[in-house]
Structures are given as structure tokens and as C-alpha cells.
Structure 1
Amino acid sequence: MRHEIDREKFGAMGPVMADAVSQCVHCGFCLSACPTYQELGRETDSPRGRIILMKEVLEGTVPLESASPHLDACLGCLGCVPACPSEVPYGDLISPFRALHEKQKPKTLGDRLKRQLAQSTLPYPTRFRMAAMSGKLVKPLARFLPQPLRVMLDMLPSRLPRRQRLAETYPAKTNRRGRVALLAGCAQQVLAPDINLATIEVLNRNGIEVVVPKGQGCCGALSWHVGNLSAARQMAIKNLAVFDMEVDAVVTNAAGCGSGIHEYPLILKGTEHESAARRLAKQTMDVSVYLASLDSLEPIPKPRSVKTIAYHDACHLANAQGVRFQPRELLDKIPGVNLVEVADGHLCCGSAGTYNIDQPEIATSLGKQKAMHVDETGASVVAMGNIGCMAQIEKHLGERGSLVKVRHTMQVLRDAYCQTEMTS
């Protein structure tokens, strides 16, 4: 007997999921692009295998508890999307599916504790900073704590940077030729606030006024990608109001955040906010895309020595937003830079939002492999466009004793403009 997904049963997202399922022809091109399939080697842990599982759960022929372990192991990296000849929008399936079934999914006490801690701290910079500072104090006692807490403590940096309070407006340093609003991010403001300062400096040097709207918050991606639809919607609606202003673009400097805003039309599908969500998604772009779109950039002085820089493709920049050549184009504008690629660059580093907390074993394996490939490039710096990737790769490079410095693309550009030693 042939079963089909009831498009009406699952609300506004039902047709979206049904369409995504119907596009998959199970050809297998996704297998080599899927990090968890490479790690686990099981068909049920491949994109096409997970599509079949989601289809069967939605049709009611397979119980959720049987499918959950395989669906939970998905990074959501969307590496399968550019590899798919049928252009299956896998992101339109996995996140809505998680949102529909999160409450029914069986969870241990440890799972609930991890999820609650992550959801109540990471999206809120002040809370996250307080939690991180408290975590540093109890790190020596980590071996006595429950495993979920040990995993979270292990992800904290050894030293937190000083807090940076951003002004509301940063005027252009040359003749003004544009005005943008900056999404400042949440965890990034705690772990690496210099990324925002570098972004603002590069934009200002190129005649762009930067507005940092007050009242903005987390984009909602951390909640959306683990199925917390109500929290994601609240955050999205808040940002819709905050960024309702006259600017040329809303720019992001974290791949996960940019991808999150581009998913607002799906997050808010079927609500009164859907049209506003589409407008903001259309207006939002990664800062590298905005800079690359300018007619010309301020020339960068020639550095004192040649630098070999590796570039790492953040999944939610390359796969979700299709942004690959613009960051490389910007880095190529730095005189004396030898830009090199990272082997198996299409595979995720294992960060993927809260994945390294939810699935630490797989995340650690992927992080070690990525750090090894970065080290093998011989570069002194590895550039990228996502704070999650930066934290993950820096951690595993450090464990290898590597001297490669992890920098955001905007930090590399800012340092080149200011003639600051790139490896500092």
C-alpha cells in the first residue's frame, strides 16, 4: 500500500516538507558530501536515508523513536544541497521536521539539561558571558560533573576577551557611498567581539556608514535548527521590527546568522509576518558579498612579508547561502598573499550550531580532521566567516600544537589595511 504525506496535517510547513521529499530520487550523489555518512557509514545516516526516514515518520509508518537517533546525528550542514542534481532543498525538510516533532522526541535527563542550558545562555550575550565566567571557575571540578556539563565546559575558551560595547552609528571614513545595518550576533559578541570591530573598520574605510540597531537579538538560528520553533519565531519577529529601517543592506559576519535570517520566511510561514520576513531575508547578505559588490575598494598597502592564508568554507556560508568566491576575492586583493585551499574543504568542521554539545564524539572526530587538513596547508593563517567554525577549529588546532592562527576574513582585511601583523 502506497502512503503519502498529508499536506494539510502539518500546517503551513506541510506542503514545504512534502515537496522536498518528493524531489529526492535517491541517486546517492549526496553520500560523498555528507560528513556523518563518512563517519558512520550507515545508509540511515546519509541525506537520502534521512529523507526516507522523515517521509515514513510523516506518513505514520515508522515511529519517531526509531528515526530520532539518525536524524539527531545530522549536522544540518547542507553539504548535500550543492551535491544534489535534483536540487532537493534539504534545509526545508530537516529543520521543519525537528520543529514539528521536538516535543514528542524521547529525551534523557542529560539531553534535556544540555538543551535547556544551551537555549537559555548562548543566544543572550550577557547571560552567556556570565555562564562562561562561572564555567571557568568550576572547570577544575569538571570530572565530578555530569557528562553534558563537562562537554559544555570543554568548549569554553581559556580566556574571554574584554567586553566591547558597540556604538549605534559608525560614520564612513571617506566620502560616504553606502549605509548598512550590522547584525552583531550573540555568542560572537562574547567569544570574539573584535570581529564586529574589524567588520565596521573595513566598511568605514570603504565609505560605508554602519548602523548597529539597538534592541536587536539572536537571529534565532540556534533555536530553529534544534526544533525550538516558538523561540525562533519570537527572535525573528523582534529582529523584523528592529531592522525595519532605510539602509542599503543588512550585513552579517557570521554564516549561521546570515543563513538564519534567510530562513525567516520558512520560520514565519503562515503567519502575519511572512511578507516582512521575505523583505528582510532579501535585504540581508554576508558582509563579504556586500563588499565584493562595491565598484572598487580602498587599495590595501603591501605587507612587509608574504603570507600564506588558507580559506575555510563555513557550511552555512557556502552551502546555505552559496557564498564561496566573494571571501576569496577579497583576500586575493591583499598584496603579497598566497591563498590556498583546505583539503576536503566541502566537509563540515563539526561545529554546526550546538552540534558539538549535542553530538560530541562525531563533532570531535570532524574537528580533528579539519584541523589536520588546515595544518597540512602550510599556512600561517586560516580565514573563515563563522564564529562557530572559528571556535571549533581553533580548539582542535590547539590540541595538535599547531601554530596556524584562526582569523575571521574581516579581521584579516582589517589587519592588512592597518598594517598589523596578520598572525597576531
Structure 2
Amino acid sequence: MGSEDDLPNLLSDCVHCGFCLPTCPTYVLWGEEMDSPRGRIHLMQQHADGTPLSGPMVEHFDRCLGCMACVTSCPSGVQYDRLIEMTRADVEREHPRSLKERAIRELVFQLFPYRRRLRALRGPLRAYQKSGLERLVRRSGVLERISPSVAAMERLAPPLGRAPKLPERVAARGERRATVGMLTGCVQAEFFPGVNAATARVLALEGCDVVIPRDQGCCGALSMHSGREDEARAFARRTIQMFEAVDVIVVNSAGCGSAMKEYQALLADDPAWSGRADALSAKTRDFAEFLAALGPRAKREPVPVTVAYHDACHLAHAQGIRSQPRALLAAIPELTVREIAEPEICCGSAGTYNLFQPEAAGELGDRKAVNVDATGAELLVAANPGCSMQIATALRRRGAGIAIAHTAQVLDASLRGLGRDALVARDS
């Protein structure tokens, strides 16, 4: 993500003013300067000046969520998103991790970006949840003793039902207004298949032919945001090939949409792919972003429910999309939208963060759950599968009976006249 030649200019943009401090989740938690954006930039400068990456330096970089709240709060335009991704690539190249760290990271990166592997896990995981073994294992604490990261993976898994199978094309209802490609994602497709089904239905009801390539794979978001550049580029090239034939790509996962809009930077140094990457980034749209621009056509039926809307970091900070999902929700009759305190503070999911930094992620998840619960809402609406899993887990710890849904699922309930019960009866 970016050339090493860019690094001195990017680092010098920071004037160490401190405007980022109140928005940085780890600084808010611990008040440690080196766990703030400007502290980490100071460490990046040390490394650029020749200081080798040490264990403590890497720990401060690993503790960063990459939430980009500092980017939107910075008056100097510091591109911290590029800085942290370049630094993480340096860490992956230069820093020898422990055997245990390497094993956990390989487990995550050899599983979550691969839909077939996740799909193979669905059946055993569903049986594990239904059998009651889940409760016994959690009470025993055996997974925590094996690895906190493994325990976090098990704890975050949502309750799994049957996965509806999507066709390769969903026809527009009524006169066709657009033809769009739809990214189904990895975690979204296997852990939240109902979100994809609702997304396709809503797009069709709003007059879109929806093209869903069967052989699509991971977009590369997890790898890109973890410094695994070669891996991310391979995923990006495959995604570009899958979607080059469509004019618009609609993405319902904030992290995936953000990554795809960054393909231009990711493949900038590859002459054979840079132009194709630029074209794909230019036609990628978040679900709410696309629908808000398209405008409503299908009739909205009442959904009498109070919702709290959660700003996913890679939607609000990385893509700048805040008003569109709120406007889509507010247009549904009898639906009330309530705001969550500290919306700029990450929930602790942050891609793989809640797996590699489960203790810090747990603190942030609990903080978010308190703020969500305080709204008095019956339903939390989030636009990223990681956020949904993270906040649902924290709400369960708190004993709060708040259901969770994606913006697409709320719109689907309204357009099909399903009402409130279709949403608040959800258990994940």
C-alpha cells in the first residue's frame, strides 16, 4: 500500500497536535502516548530513521485497530491509514513473531478468507451450538487455556441457521433501473447469509438486475489491513476479474467495500493491473450509498421498531458514509432511529483485531454495548459482519436483549411488509 518513497512526506504531515487522541480507541482505554496515532507515528519515524523493529514497537502497532477515526479527526490531513498499512507490511517482512503467534495468524488467514473452508466449518459448528456442547465448553474455560484467540473465535461465532442459496442472477421487479454486481463476501456469506439474501431482494425490488458471480472469492480486506500485501493483491486481482463485466458493484460489508475502493493504491505499482484496479475501485458502491443515490421506488410498509444505528469504522471513517444509511432507515414509516454515544469509538472488531487482541477488543465491545443499551432501542443496525458479531457478543455478556440486523434486512422487512417481528425475533 504505497511506495517507501512516500513515507517521509506522509510522516511529516503529522504536527502532533493531539486532535486524534479523543477518537483513538486504545488511547481512550489506556491513556498511553505510544498507543495513540501520534505516538505510533513517532515510532514509525524512528523505524524510518533506521531503528530496527523491536518487540515493544511491534506491540504498539499491533494494538492499533486501524479504525481510521484519527483520519477523520485530523486537521492536517495525515494519511494514517496508509501509514499503518505500510508499517504492518514492514512488520510482516522484518519482525520474527513467536511460534504461537505465527500459528494463530496462519489459522485465521488460512480459514476466514476462504469460503469453502468456512462452509465446511458450518455443519460441525452448527451441531456444536445445537447440542449444548457450546455451553459446557465455555463454562470449562478450556479454550481460554489453549489460546485466548481460539476462545475469541468460538465466542464470536453467531448462532447458525440454514443458509439460503443465491442464484447467479436475480431479476429486477418491474422496469429495470440498473444492473449491478453483488459481492457476497466470506464471513458475510457463511455466517450471515440472510444479509446477502435481503440485499439481493431489496436491490431487485428497487428495480435492479443483480448479478452474483458464483466463483467469486475473498476481496482481500483482511489481508490488506494486516500487512499481507502479496496475499491481498492476489485476492484483489481475482475479484477484479469476477466483476469487470458489470458497471456497478454493490457491497454490503463495510470492510470489503473499503478495501475494494483501495485497489487502485494496492495495485498502483503493477502496470498490468493498475488501470483495471482503478476502474473497479471507481465503480464500487456501499449498499446504502448506492440506494441513496438511486432513490426509492418500492413502497415502504411500516416497521414499528426503535433502532440504534452503529457506524462501522470502515463505512463512516474510511468511506465517509454516515448520512445515507440513516436516511434509508428514517424513510421507513413508524421506525425511529436513535444515536449511540461515542459513535467514533470502534467496537473492537476491526477485522481480525478481536481475534489477535481479544482483551482490548473485549473492553471496547463492552464499552460499545453499554452505549447501545443506553439508547433503549429494540434493534441494533450495523453494516459490517465483524461489528455484528462483536457487539452481539458484548450485548450477551451484558444480558441485554437487543436484536441485531443489517440495513438491508430492515429495508427488506419494510418492502415485503414483514413488520417488526421479522427483525426483533432474530437471535444474531
Same fold, judged at TM 0.5 (above): yes
Task: Provide, for residues 127-183 of structure 1, a one-character-per-residue CA deviation record: whole Å limited to 9, x for no partner.
Answer: 1233455467485376066213233222223x3222332211101012101111001
Q: Is the 8 A contact 2:155 2:393 kept in 1?
A: no
Tell me the equivalent position of 2:113: 123
Matched, 1:351 2:349: yes
Tell me the equivalent position of 1:397: 395
Matched, 1:243 2:243: yes
TM-score by length of 2: 0.92
Tell me the equivalent position of 1:226: 226
Q: Is the 8 A contact 1:34 1:80 kept in 2?
A: yes
Task: Provide, for residues 254-278 of structure 1, a one-character-per-residue CA deviation record: whole Å limited to 9, x for no partner.
Answer: 0000011111122212112112111
* Superposition pairs of residues 353-392 of structure 1, within 5 angstroms: 353-392=351-390
Q: Residues 116 and 25 (structure 1 numbering): CA distance in 2 closer, same or farther, change over 3 Å?
A: same
Partner SS state of residue 339, structure 1: strand
Structure 1 counterpart of 2:239, one-letter code: N
* Superposition pairs of residues 62-101 of structure 1, within 5 angstroms: 63-101=53-91
Q: How many residues align?
A: 410
Tell me the equivalent position of 1:252: 251
Task: Provide, for residues 235-256 of structure 1, a one-character-per-residue CA deviation record: whole Å limited to 9, x for no partner.
Answer: 0011111111132x11100000
Matched, 1:185 2:185: yes
TM-score by length of 1: 0.93
Structure 1 counterpart of 2:212, one-letter code: V
Tell me the equivalent position of 1:411: 409
Matched, 1:274 2:264: no
Q: Residues 246 and 153 (structure 1 numbering): CA distance in 2 closer, same or farther, change over 3 Å?
A: closer
Partner SS state of residue 121, structure 1: coil
Equivalent residue in structure 2 for 1:334, among 315, 323, 332: 332
- Worse-superposed segment, 71-80 or 93-102: 93-102
2-side partners of 1:373 and 1:193: how far apart? 27
Shift of 1:62: 5.1
Tell me the equivalent position of 1:423: 424
Which consecutive residues of structure 1, in runs of 5 or more, have no partner in the other structure? Answer: 1-10
Task: Provide, for residues 376-413 of structure 1, a one-character-per-residue CA deviation record: whole Å limited to 9, x for no partner.
Answer: 10111111111100011111111211111111011011
1-side partners of 2:73 and 2:346: how far apart? 14
Partner SS state of residue 351, structure 2: coil
Shift of 1:229: 1.1
Structure 1 counterpart of 2:66, one-letter code: G
Which consecutive residues of structure 2, in runs of 5 or more, have no partner in the other structure? Answer: none
Structure 1 counterpart of 2:197, one-letter code: L
Matched, 1:16 2:6: yes
Partner SS state of residue 106, structure 1: coil
Structure 2 counterpart of 1:200, one-letter code: A
Shift of 1:55: 1.7
Tell me the equivalent position of 1:30: 20
2-side partners of 1:393 and 1:12: how far apart? 33
Q: Residues 132 and 152 (structure 1 numbering): CA distance in 2 closer, same or farther, change over 3 Å?
A: farther
Matched, 1:169 2:139: no
Tell me the equivalent position of 2:297: 297
Q: Is the 8 A contact 1:16 1:93 kept in 2?
A: no
Structure 2 counterpart of 1:87, one-letter code: G
Tell me the equivalent position of 1:263: 262
Q: Is the 8 A contact 1:16 1:92 kept in 2?
A: no
2-side partners of 1:406 and 1:195: how far apart? 11
Structure 1 counterpart of 2:157, one-letter code: L
Partner SS state of residue 308, structure 1: strand
Task: Provide, for residues 344-373 of structure 1, a one-character-per-residue CA deviation record: whole Å limited to 9, x for no partner.
Answer: 111000000010010000000000111111
1-side partners of 2:306 and 2:72: how far apart? 28
Tell me the equivalent position of 1:155: 156
Tell me the equivalent position of 1:203: 203
Task: Provide, for residues 22-55 of structure 1, a one-character-per-residue CA deviation record: whole Å limited to 9, x for no partner.
Answer: 2111110000010010112110000011111112
